[in-house]
Chains A and B, each alone.
Chain A
């Protein structure tokens, strides 16, 4: 690949359409000399390093070709060849356009199939495809005039086809990006080698990480005075993670896992600047290695993504317009037909004429997910309970093609200005913007076909965006927020019309990764509202929600919820769950805490009559032994309801039982 790219750059100037690509061309022209030098350097580096990465890339290529079964093979190989020959033979060999389209759409299909493991591999494969397309595409369009270019983006073409070409047209920027990436990888690999060498030195004996007690205290003292040595800290974190991964092999004698974990947490707090409480909370979500990756990912920003407003334009048109402004971009992934990922932009993206005309909106990739899960249909009535700043609301409007009705609610009036602005800018005509506390909702208006609740949350998934979360979230927040979220979710469920022919769905999402705000809330809703059940979100990627966490067990169907992590998918940390409402909420459910109809045994919560002795006279004495059984059963039920396994904490339960016995005997 590397050689091929170099040849391309040295070959004839890119034969893209003059009128539309002047900007791009200038840019590409400028980068030729730079990139040549760069690539030569790069090749040198490669030679010295040995051709390690090369066969790997080839492998991938072959894999993709092989899976595409023939047609890609037959296309890709000639185009590669032509790429090599190009410098000698610049005249165009027009390919039949229809054939190419066919092949492209097939390739796109195949990409969709393979998409599930949304890895870097796939992305690189995509880029590689783009390379090929540059060659074949440019040669096709070389000999033709402006009209040919228009035809390239005409309506009737397959969408993905055009996108591939856009990528191709954009390749000058992308290749540079890729070069940088490769260089970075190289550096990483080098660093890793060194590290490995270091580690092999240590590996014989077990790494000494935990200091002795007295020196530890001293260390803390000195640390408090001096700035912490970050390099040292990092290596120690690395070592601790390694030890925790293979504890039996690498741990020092007489040291417990808890000691290592405590040390690691302390280091993480210092190194990344988390509050100890939050660091522990986040650390407990993952195995040590993954947790480290998570903390690391929170330090790097997520890619800038824009969403095409399909009410006003098409993605390929928008991409073309932005490329003409010198923006480098590519489709965000095979899972979205409307997202574009921006690599670099010489113009502010929030002030281009296209932006002002409402052709796109800046929106994180993760924010696409809840709306995709909601899947609103045309002519439905939809409620967005916490809608500001309107990214998701306008997405819903676009999916509904401006039919039906959307209630966009936000409790914060000052935020609703941006919401109304975005709604108008993007041309959503079917929205009603209101300013209620969302908990009032079934009373204001109910009977919705779908409800989206993107709940206010602690924001532990978007630490990369807002680092203040690291320190300003306390234990209290993690009690208050879930409480609010539970109320909101019940209100959302009650607002849905279960008899809706097309819908009856609620989507609950947060930009947080903690269990309290996600699975905990969902579990609460499931136990409080037996008339809802979890259903598949319809999202093609994401990790399954937890069914058990730290001694709490959740419903089996929690597997159908989806979690997203920054280190796994390079999107913000996110949680998406989808409910289907099957029956009406019981009357008065919104007002009072309802007795759970799902359980067989209904716990009687009526107060004990005050005149107990009289009651005793009337009904005769209590049978203690019999009561004991019922009390026991009731307690187990209660624990199960709270998500605690009654068998797990037997000692505790027995203690309670003793208490209960005493109390009952006293009452007697």
Chain B
């Protein structure tokens, strides 16, 4: 377990900024105004990146490397080529700071959770003036975050789309907790 290097931080933040926009800095702001206030930090452990309270990260140092399996919230992993891949486990953090959002109707929930992209007919609501290929967080109509993806069209273009046209490419959905349990948390 170690803090991220400069390049790793850049890769990670570039990825996160795609979803959160400017509120990214809230992620690492101190939790209160005290002199030694707790804050959230990023920690790398076995190529996975964890978003965790500093106090918790310090406690976790007493666990040896091969015995530590997870701490705090797992954001995703760094690939062997140095890219960063967000996992579904990052959803609570993304949804908290999301800039663009898509709400899917009840009939679109299951297709999305089974790994499908979002077609226009299933979109219930959409953040205005969302550009193309922008990271969005997907919600159900009662504001439960379900996953995230990237837009296939800008909001304006999507209006002209036919009902079966894809408006948003799925990147991760909650269904992965069941489908990919083995690969998602395999630590070795």
Contact = CB atoms under 8 A, between A and B. Distances in A.
Interface of A: 321, 350-351, 353-354, 356-359, 381, 405, 413, 416-418, 420-421, 423-425, 427, 429-436, 444-445
B158 to A, nearest CB: 24
Closest 7 A/B residue pairs (Cβ) = A356-B174, A433-B70, A424-B89, A433-B69, A420-B185, A445-B62, A432-B71
B178 A418 contact: no
Interface size classification for chain B: 35 or more
Interface string B68-89: 1111111000000000000001
Contacts of B142: 321
Interface in B41-92: 52-53, 55-56, 59-60, 62-63, 66-74, 89, 92
Interface in B167-181: 174-175, 177-178, 181
B140 interface: yes
Nearest to A424: B89
B119 interface: no
Contacts of B71: 431-433
Contacts of A433: 68-71
Nearest to A356: B174
A424 B73 contact: yes
7 contacts: A353-B113, A353-B144, A356-B175, A417-B185, A427-B92, A444-B62, A444-B67
Nearest to A428: B73
A417 B53 contact: no
Contacts of A420: 69-70, 74, 185
Interface of B: 52-53, 55-56, 59-60, 62-63, 66-74, 89, 92, 109-110, 113, 140, 142, 144-146, 174-175, 177-178, 181-182, 184-186
A330 B109 CA distance: 25
Given A353-B144, A357-B145, A445-B63, A431 B174 contact: no
A353 B146 contact: yes
B67 A435 contact: yes
A432 B146 contact: no
A353 B110 contact: yes
B67 A434 contact: yes
Contacts of B59: 381, 405, 432, 445
Contacts of A418: 181
A423 B181 CA distance: 12
B160 to A, nearest CB: 30
Contacts of B109: 353
Contacts of A351: 178
A413 B184 CA distance: 14
A369 to B, nearest CB: 26
Contacts of B63: 432, 434, 436, 444-445
Contacts of B67: 434-436, 444
Contacts of B53: 429-430
Contacts of A413: 69
Given A357-B144, A424-B73, A434 B178 contact: no
Contact of B72 (A357, A429, A435, A445): A429
Contacts of A356: 113, 146, 174-175, 177-178
B186 A417 contact: yes
